[in-house]
Structure 1
Amino acid sequence: MTKSLLLAATLLASTWQLQASEPLAYQFDGPYVFNDSSAKKATKHSAYWVCNAELKHNYASDKQLTRPDNCGQLPQPLLSDTVKQIMPDSYDGIKKIVTLSDVHGQYDVLITLLKNQNIIDANNNWAFGDGHMVITGDMFDRGDKINEVLWFVYQLDRQAKAAGGMLHLLMGNHEQMVLGGDLRYVHQRYDLASKLLNKSNDALYGEDTEIGQWLRSKHTLVKINDVLYMHGGISSEWLTRELTISQANQIFRDNIGRSKKELKQDELLNFLFYGNGPTWYRGYFKDSFREAELDKILAYFNVRHITVGHTSQTQVLGLFNNKLIAVDSSIKRGVQGELLLIENGELIRGLYNGARQPL
């Protein structure tokens, strides 16, 4: 048997096994959009879709992706270069902000929460006007609707800018893990796309892909009004290193996608990407952590609040007189979730059923 025939037979066998053992929905996936800037190509947006466990391919037309026939309800995004622009990481005078975290592929919970809180409309489009939305990381891993979440947030990013608002997607530790090739928590649904495209899961979000370029343009920390946002937290070690927000964001963008082994060989990168860095730190929730330490961190950044995800709670939670706000409300479990609203300085819990309560 020739090498090509052997490869085809292997793919067919893998597909049959997935058809026999996986839910029907897992036979549909994508789109995975690769950007080809070659002058010989009529278009630079090449899309791959998994439809009924078969690989299909087409191109974007005027940046609009069209789902192939018999391909379920996979996203059909309108591509946009504006969402890949590096935006400022500090803002003042923003009247309304909504924040959530750690979606981990739970698309249905995310949509229900945002609809019930009137952040999106009945058609899943941006309805928050000139407000700002902050997602403090961890869209990847664990759940089985990662691409649905990614393309939905990509769409909101474009729509928010068009409405005079902004969507701030911050990098969490699971974005770092997947882009760096640590695939321990990737859901089995995505094994099929990797097999059919002959690419590892991280390569499906590489620097030559639309989603990969979009993610690599994002910050890890952002300051809005008197609140500093990130995934894990700011440890006191940051203060001794005298880093600025912008310095850290640039370092993260320059190095995301490097392997854990590479990052740990550099002392500064080891700090930023692991342990006491802003995507992994959990020190705020230890009994030994004291408010006086938090006050020093707040003063360093000249903010009144720090908002984090990463450490799971049962609700949006305010600690130390709301100086610290935890917004990982366990959306990852796929049952319900909450979000934080700030309107004219007032801190509000947005509940899953649409109700709102003061924090």
Structure 2
Amino acid sequence: MRRLFKLALISTLFIPLTVIVLLSLAKVGATDSGAHARLRIPVGKQSASFQIYSGTGEHVIMPGFLDGPVVRSRNAGGWSATWYCENQRNASVGQGRVLSINCAGRSHRFNLQQPPVFDADAPMPATVAVISDLEGNLRFLNAALSKLGVTDAGGDWQFANNHLVVLGDSVDRGREAFAVLWRLHGLALQAHAAGGAVHVVLGNHEQYVLRGNYSRTHPDHRYAVRQMGGFERAFSEETIIGAWLRAQPVALRLGRTLFVHGGVSPEVAANVPDVDSLNGAMRNFWGSHAGSAARSKAFDAVLSHQGVTQYRGYFEAMDGMYPQATQADLEAVVRHFDVDRIVVGHTLVERIQRSYNGRVIAVDVNDDEARREVLVFHNGTPKIVDLGIPRALETKALARERPFNPLSMDDLRLLGEMVQAYRDLDRVPKPY
């Protein structure tokens, strides 16, 4: 009995001491701005890295960077707004349709009206430009829109009654996710006034953010959003951007072409009759207070691994989930939705490519090693255009490291908040 007691005592002391020793050797990694990014702990000759999702940082300053704004409508045409500029949170209340912000000597203007919801099953216009997987890359978006003639030298819509399709994953990874969303929101208003349209098709990353899964966001963006109240508040249905995103489709049919972020699996085609049903299921999910929705085939079609935002079966099989699609599968899918082809993003390709005898066109070239191409439809005919603009993706989110101090209250607080963030993310319902 005494021996068992000694063993228990040794174990009780050994585990905490081991943790303290490991933490004393750990390194805290941060971005160049000072936002915490990871905790690296040595394990033998290797090291284990743990992402820091808590949105913490130290001596954070982001020169020239504006994140947000998070805008909520109030009674009688009023609004309240919060935003993060360089190194501090700002707030304002006001009236009217426009919010003007000055950040780091630059003026930013946001139109607070909501664009009308365009019919997601419509005829093919004369010209359609397709871009996918922007992932918070505002610089590329602006350059691409200008090169394609969608916007003029001042950044305003000049695409007449033509359409722009943004095929999912406009957010996450890059830190300018809010800037990209506000840019598309403003262009949608201008396009509507000109008789055109901007279709922001939802991808899995928009779904992640709207459901509280911020694990793929940039550390700088996480830090800024935390200063503005956290992701749940920043993207709630009560905000301009949160409400607008929830109104966007997961599937778009223009003429004889179907656009979805991931793909349409045989399972989805067997259970969902048409495009309107897919979009209705997505909006019903948002309306059911996402996270408490009961599992259903309709929700599976828009949220599961075989759903239209996550399916990769046109490119590979997923062990234990689904086989790679066959030509017969594609013929059945296009026949079911009465289209000639499906345009998808989500799965990275080296160049825009046609497959399955032209039934699938893959357009996710969000990589600096991929061809600088974009897909454009003229009178219903798809054409691959050499855009000539690099994505110029960030390659160094982690810029510096410092030792973790297990005797520092600040570092212990950092560790506690890091653990809490993991718990919060673990509570995000799966598969929805």
Q: Give the TM-score of the pair, scaled to structure 1.
A: 0.84
Q: Pick from 96, 112, 130: which aligns with 1:79?
A: 112
Q: Deviations over 1:116-158 (max 9, x none)?
A: 1212111111121111111111111100111111111011101
Q: Is 2:102 aligned against 1:90?
A: no
Query: Which runs of no fewer than 5 residues in structure 1 stay unpaired?
Result: 1-12, 355-359
Contact 1:46/1:57 (8 A) holds in 2 = yes
Point out the structure with the larger helix share: 1
Counterpart of 1:20 in structure 2 is 59
Deviation at 1:213, TM superposition (A): 1.1
Counterpart of 1:188 in structure 2 is 219
Query: Which runs of no fewer than 5 residues in structure 2 stay unpaired?
Result: 1-33, 37-55, 318-323, 390-432
Q: Deviations over 1:237-260 (max 9, x none)?
A: 123214321112011012138788
The residue matched to 2:199 in structure 1 has which SS? strand
Q: Pick from 179, 200, 208: which aligns with 1:148?
A: 179
Deviation at 1:30, TM superposition (A): 1.9
- Take 2:106 and 2:68, find their aligned partners in 1: how far apart are those partners? 10
Q: Which letter maps to 1:338?
A: E
- Take 2:369 and 2:351, find their aligned partners in 1: how far apart are those partners? 14
Aligned residues: 331
Q: Is 2:205 aligned against 1:174?
A: yes
Q: Pick from 327, 332, 348: which aligns with 1:291?
A: 327
- Take 1:321 and 1:58, find their aligned partners in 2: how far apart are those partners? 55
Deviation at 1:229, TM superposition (A): 0.5
Deviation at 1:335, TM superposition (A): 9.1
State which structure, 1 or 2, has the greater radius of gyration over its C-alpha atoms. Answer: 2
- Take 2:182 and 2:371, find their aligned partners in 1: how far apart are those partners? 21
CA distance 1:257–1:74, change in 2 (3 Å): farther
- Take 1:123 and 1:117, find their aligned partners in 2: how far apart are those partners? 14
Contact 2:236/2:243 (8 A) holds in 1 = yes
- Take 2:97 and 2:348, find their aligned partners in 1: how far apart are those partners? 38
Counterpart of 1:310 in structure 2 is 346
CA distance 1:143–1:337, change in 2 (3 Å): farther
CA RMSD of aligned residues (A): 2.7
Contact 2:257/2:340 (8 A) holds in 1 = yes
Contact 2:278/2:298 (8 A) holds in 1 = no
Counterpart of 1:29 in structure 2 is 67
- Take 2:361 and 2:35, find their aligned partners in 1: how far apart are those partners? 46
Comparing 57-66 with 220-229, greater Cα deviation is found at: 57-66
Point out the structure with the larger strand share: 2
Q: Pick from 86, 98, 102: which aligns with 1:64?
A: 98
Counterpart of 2:366 in structure 1 is 330
Q: Give the TM-score of the pair, scaled to structure 2.
A: 0.70
CA distance 1:55–1:298, change in 2 (3 Å): same
CA distance 1:225–1:49, change in 2 (3 Å): same
- Take 2:59 and 2:295, find their aligned partners in 1: how far apart are those partners? 44
CA distance 1:234–1:14, change in 2 (3 Å): closer
CA distance 1:315–1:24, change in 2 (3 Å): same
- The share of aligned pairs that are identical, in percent, is 27
